[in-house]
Amino acid sequence: MFDLDGLLIDSEQAWDDVRREFVAEQGGHWQDRAQRDMMGMSSTEWSRYVRDELGVDMSPERISAEVVARLTALYRQQLPLMPGAREAVERLAHDLPLGLASSSNREVIDMVLDVGGLAAYFDVTVSSEEVDNGKPAPDVYLEAARRLGVSADRCVAIEDSHNGILSASAAGMRVIAIPNRAFPPGPEALAAASLVLPSLNDLTAASVGRLDSPDRDA
């Protein structure tokens, strides 16, 4: 189970820049903690946060639509795939069924996977706007496992963020953490990971298989 933002695509700074600019244009008040607070939130949750905490006087639905339109426009100009992202997905898809559990809007997920040439490698994809609660709640990972037809405890999640690691762990999955350098996960999240890797280049089917083998706790 792959995350998307900050793992396969170098998007956290893009989200930050777009939302920061949008809030300023709408007369809101950006806060230093805002990007970290919103990491992992569903589109419903972060758009409400922009309205309620950052002072943008607009419906959450319109906030989400405006921000996503700006973000996808940037991606269509140049999609910032992480180094080694395509190769890592291809390697794992050769041996394992793949799912994707993302906090991004469905529109963003589909566009990124299509433009990035990755869509064919994923058996299921789930947006947190399709479940009740965003990360760090386990909902999006549990739904991805359900759609894939496997129990969550037989899945290994690949995550980069604090809330993402906690989300997958809460779902009962083993977690391989590849920490986001700009917004690194805290000690609590890293302690919940079964394995920490420096980059996607180090992610292989063998490392995933070891975590998901019957003697993985030995």
The one catalytic residue among 3, 10, 139, 160: 3
Average pLDDT for the chain:
92
Q: Give percent of the chain with pLDDT exceeding 70.
A: 97
pLDDT tens, position by position, 5-54: 999 999 878 888 999 999 999 999 999 889 888 887 888 899 999 999 99
Q: Are strands 195-196 and 174-177 parallel, antiparallel or unpaired?
A: parallel
Q: Mean pLDDT, to the nearest integer, of 165-172? A: 98
How far apart are alpha carbons 41 and 52 in whole angstroms? 14
Whether 10 is catalytic: no
Q: Which residues pair with 126 in a beta bridge?
A: 101
- DSSP structure class, residue 5: B
Is the pLDDT assigned to residue 217 strictly greater than 70? Answer: no
Whether 110 is catalytic: no
**What pLDDT shows up at residue 212?**
55
**Domains, the chain, ordered by start:** 12-77 (1.10.150), 85-211 (3.40.50.1000)
Identity of the residue numbered 16: D
Q: Are strands 124-127 and 156-159 parallel, antiparallel or unpaired?
A: unpaired
**What pLDDT shows up at residue 41?**
85
With b meaning 16 or more CB within 10 Å and e meaning fewer, what string describes 182-207? ebebeeebeebbbbebeebeebeeeb
pLDDT tens, position by position, 61-113: 999 999 999 999 999 999 999 999 999 999 999 999 999 999 999 999 999 99
The one catalytic residue among 5, 16, 139, 160: 5
3-state DSSP helix/strand/coil percent for the chain, to nearest 5?
A: 50, 10, 40
How far apart are alpha carbons 8 and 22 in whole angstroms? 25
**What pLDDT shows up at residue 39?**
81
CA angle 110, 111, 113 (to 5 degrees): 65
Q: In what order do the strands lie in the sheet with 195-196?
A: 156-159, 174-177, 195-196
Identity of the residue numbered 93: A
Is the pLDDT assigned to residue 174 strictly greater than 70? Answer: yes
